[in-house]
Chains A and B, each alone.
Chain A
Amino acid sequence: MNDLTPTREQREAALEGMGCKRKRVEDIRFTQGRGNYVDDVKLPGMLHGDFVRSPHAHARVKSIDSTEALKVPGVLAVITAETLKTVNLAWMPTLAGDVQMVLADGKVLFQNQEVAFVVATDRYAADDGVNKVVVEYEALPVLVDPFKAMDPDAPVLREDLAGKTSGAHGPRKHHNHIFEWAIGDKDLTDAAFAKAEVTIKEMISYHRTHPSPLETCQCVCSFDKIKGELTIWGTFQAPHVIRTVVSLIAKIPEQKIHVIAPDIGGGFGNKVGAYPGYICAAVASIVTGKPVKWVEDRIENLTATSFARDYHMTTELAATKEGKVTGLRVHVLADHGAFDACADPSKWPAGFFNIVTGSYDFPVAHCVVDGIYTNKAPGGVAYRCSFRVTEAAYCIERAMDILAQKLGMDPAELRLKNFVRPEQFPYHSALGWEYDSGDYHTAMRKMMEAVDYAGLRKEQADKRAAFKRGETRDIMGIGVSFFTEIVGAGPSKNCDILGIAMFDSCEIRLHPTGSGIARVGTKSQGQGHETTWAQIIATEIGIPADNIMVEEGNTDTAPYGLGTYGSRSTPVAGAAIAMAARKIKAKAQMIAAYKLEVHEDDLEWDIDGFRVKGLPEKVMSMKDICWAAYNSVPPGMEPGLEAVSYYDPPNMTYPFGAYLCVMEIDVDTGVYKIRRFYALDDCGTRINPMIIEGQIHGGLTEAFAIAMGQEIRYDSEGNVVTGSFMDFFMPTAVETPHWETDFTVTPSPHHPIGAKGVGESPNVGGVPAFSNAVNDAFSFLGSTHIQMPHDFWRNWQAAKSLGVLG
């Protein structure tokens, strides 16, 4: 060794492995406008498709006349349900076991539903064609209120289901009923309520909202008649599943379908589902023999692609006078819109809503969810949340505050009293999940200290007194929220999508000169996989992250994976990556032992290579092993250095966090000011702290939007009144608060690198923190619960109804 020999720290730093704030490799192209998004895909002779959409929310389609449209210069075809019937594609299966019209078949069931698809030489001509298609409708009574949907005389929405008394998830109780899902022990829970000292009951609604990534949903389909092959570029969060679904419904052999998800401009769950645009573009390409592009506009995105939430949760808690919760009972009315196209794993009609016991050790719980059809857009998605976890977290976090209020206890104290204790992990919840690891008390106490919780409460008490004396018109709210998420869907014993088990995959190939490529079954929509996946490999096998190229989103080259949503990439694919790397490392060790002429067991791993135990100079770097793998492997060993892993996790992972929001509201105007927002997250092992923090900022901003104003609203005729960014609240840099982040680290015991997933946590934990702050502000005036979203107008209304306006 001499002065030039890098130190241990230098060697480690050179890898840019796990824990390093590695700068993103993606950014070089994105900052120069060199990304390659779907709309950037241009093929020779490409045509453009556009939809005729229904102005009615519920109507019979009496006729569709395309004669004039077909005369428009550039228009080549108008596809209707009748066209699709000839190829058996008028209806498509949904992820939730229902069926959905691709194009209106006899009637329409929500506003802006797809009625006909016009194909033309450019997008302007297609639009001209759309304006010339004449559709005759006969309006039918509209049903927008899920509570009225179960009335005996409510209009029948789904005539195709007439007479069917059972659906994909069991019996249907009514003509607008989809399913009933019950979990937990009803008798024990009822008994707990019968002898409870204190109970609360509240209708807690989580309004309908929408993920609206900045890039809308789009695709380019190109059918090659000679080869019988279909290539689809699309904004797909799960490209392999799309390929399988297309193969099953279009009856094209799976190997002849090539699905490519290039760069994606945000997904947030919106790009999981299969939309009529994909089917129509594919059919149009088959019919015309030309590539066909379909690009959704913003209004279409907000009104016709998958919504989120829309859960109405009647929530009850039973407790002792000291604040120990003895039981939880929830009944949910879930508004699924016109077709049950929810993106939930097959076995879970209400997703993982049964994590509704949250971070608390409740002895018993019972939960019933009723799914309902209405005249609204279909497709509830896990918007930055894994399958209804956000609704569950909101439900329990509001309920805990309401209970604290009734008991006259501090909401943080009540939580500390009921938390699952560190020694209880792995913890079995009353509703069936096994939480892997957690230390909730530490996280909560760290948060309380960081924000000077006691000081804030003191300040609040003073302000309330001043308000009562008439000295101020501002009220102060402190919103506490503590959440446990359930992510990493999932173990094949728990989760599948259309019968495909939810594993994930990675294939790593190392090249002779010490670089490599990793292909993964996930698909980044901004999560930075090209950067972080290489960091896992760098740490595992000692090759600098810069030397590993990561590729995703091409079904021809990537191993089969279930995609990116539900914070599942790191918990599932991250594990697959580590396992594939370990297979490579095992082979590398045999090669090193052969070359160093020692027994394998005499070698130990040392950052970027193997070293003979006790002989620090006798080392073989991974770079040299790569070369050796292609020219001098031990006799009998196959050359090369590559491995594949399909990882089926033994359990989900359970990240958690403690959030706090301090808010001030002017009662005379309803105007709020976020004074402070602190978020502590525990996502287990942290791969890239910079990226984690960025995801938390983004998730908190989405949570802020949802809690404080964003809503998809319908009028009584089923018109969407929030169909553009003019009416649908999109926070800009001006409204968005400043975020403070913090963390603890409690690794997952069953994950190869202990990582849990984080991208959705801030949305899951953030919404209740904001809502609790608003509710806490008003609580001393006698209010128990105010429904979201808490925009200025609603705050003003709340103040008015509480009688504090002049």
Chain B
Amino acid sequence: MPKTHVTMKVNGSEVERLAEPRTLLVHFLREQAQLTGTHIGCETSHCGACTIDIDGMSVKSCTMLAVQANGSEITTIEGMANVDGSLSALQEGFRMMHGLQCGFCTPGMIVRAHRLLQENPSPTETEIRAGISGNICRCTGYQNIVKAIQYAAAKINGVDYKEAAE
């Protein structure tokens, strides 16, 4: 199949490759751009393991073609750490609150939570649960993921994290 020229900015760097028009964005990122942090759990938009950030929106990269992302700006899990390489508030929150087990859903979950906090810097538990409902986790039962996001929100807002009364 003839290939098309695709270029996009991923985590701040230009990525320029030839791809078949039918290539899924997630495959393009994982195979061509060699960024394997974005995972594949279903390839049908149901699980969220492949969630990335495109031009300020959370997108499931398994149901978008690479060519559709031509010219866009993308952030994947590999672009989520602080500039100095240390763990971002969200990454730290997931570790501190035990928001992951096998870690397979985690990249998608963190990228999604990142966008959620951009849109709503102090979400309630209900808002967090609704905000991550496109991302399935089979290991954690979500409770600690919610706490991880609350922890990050508190840290970003410069307040002390207090476990919400249960």
Listed in ascending order, the chain A residues whose CB lies under 8 Å from chain B are 23-24, 26-35, 37, 39-40, 123-124, 212-216, 263-266, 268, 297-298, 525-528, 690-691, 693-695, 697-702, 724-726, 730, 732-734, 736, 738-740
Contacts and interface: CB of A to CB of B under 8 A. Distances in A.
A31 B46 contact: no
29 contacts: A23-B96, A27-B100, A27-B103, A28-B95, A31-B91, A31-B106, A37-B104, A39-B36, A214-B41, A214-B138, A215-B39, A215-B104, A264-B102, A265-B39, A265-B103, A297-B43, A298-B42, A298-B44, A298-B47, A527-B101, A699-B141, A725-B42, A725-B44, A730-B46, A732-B129, A732-B133, A733-B132, A733-B146, A734-B129
A265 to B, nearest CB: 3
Contacts of B135: 732-733
Nearest to B79: A33
Contacts of B91: 31-32
A526 B47 contact: no
Contacts of A297: 43
A214 B137 contact: yes
B102 A214 contact: yes
- List the 5 closest A-B pairs by CB distance, nearest first: A33-B37, A265-B104, A30-B103, A526-B102, A697-B141
B139 A33 contact: no
Among B91, B94, B102, B129, the most chain A Cβ lie within 10 Å of the Cβ of B102
B119 to A, nearest CB: 16
Given A39-B40, A265-B104, A27 B94 contact: yes
Nearest to A734: B133
Given A39-B40, A214-B41, A215-B104, A700 B138 contact: no
Given A298-B43, A738-B166, 12 more contacts: A39-B36, A213-B138, A263-B102, A264-B102, A694-B140, A697-B140, A697-B144, A730-B46, A732-B129, A732-B132, A733-B128, A733-B145
Nearest to B106: A30
Q: SS class of chain A's interface: helix, strand, loop or mixed? A: loop
Interface in B101-119: 101-107, 110
Contacts of A693: 98
Q: Which of A30, A297, A730 has the most CB of B within 10 A?
A: A30
Contacts of A30: 100, 103, 106
B16 interface: no
Nearest to A697: B141
A152 B91 CA distance: 61
B23 interface: yes
B134 to A, nearest CB: 8
A212 B44 CA distance: 15
B55 interface: no
B115 to A, nearest CB: 15
A26 B98 CA distance: 11
B78 interface: yes
B101 A694 contact: yes
B136 interface: yes
Given A27-B100, A691-B98, A733-B129, A266 B145 contact: no
Nearest to A690: B98
A738 B143 contact: yes
A481 to B, nearest CB: 18
A740 B141 CA distance: 12
Contact of B141 (A31, A700, A725): A700
Contact of B95 (A31, A266, A702, A725): A31
B58 to A, nearest CB: 15
Contacts of A37: 36, 39, 104
B81 A698 contact: no
B103 A212 contact: no
Nearest to B93: A31
Contacts of B23: 124
Contact of A736 (B1, B47, B95, B141): B141
Nearest to A735: B133
B77 interface: yes
B104 A214 contact: yes
Interface string B78-102: 1011000001000100111010111
Contacts of B46: 298, 724-726, 730
A555 to B, nearest CB: 21
Nearest to A525: B102
Contacts of A724: 42, 44, 46
Contacts of A263: 102-103
Interface string B1-31: 1000000000000000000101100010010
B76 interface: yes
A767 to B, nearest CB: 15
A28 B141 CA distance: 21
A695 B144 CA distance: 11
Contacts of B100: 24, 27, 30-31
B136 A124 contact: no
Nearest to A265: B104
B141 A526 contact: no
Interface in B60-83: 76-78, 80-81
Given A31-B106, A213-B138, A526-B139, A124 B39 contact: no
Contacts of B95: 23-24, 27-28, 31
B159 interface: no
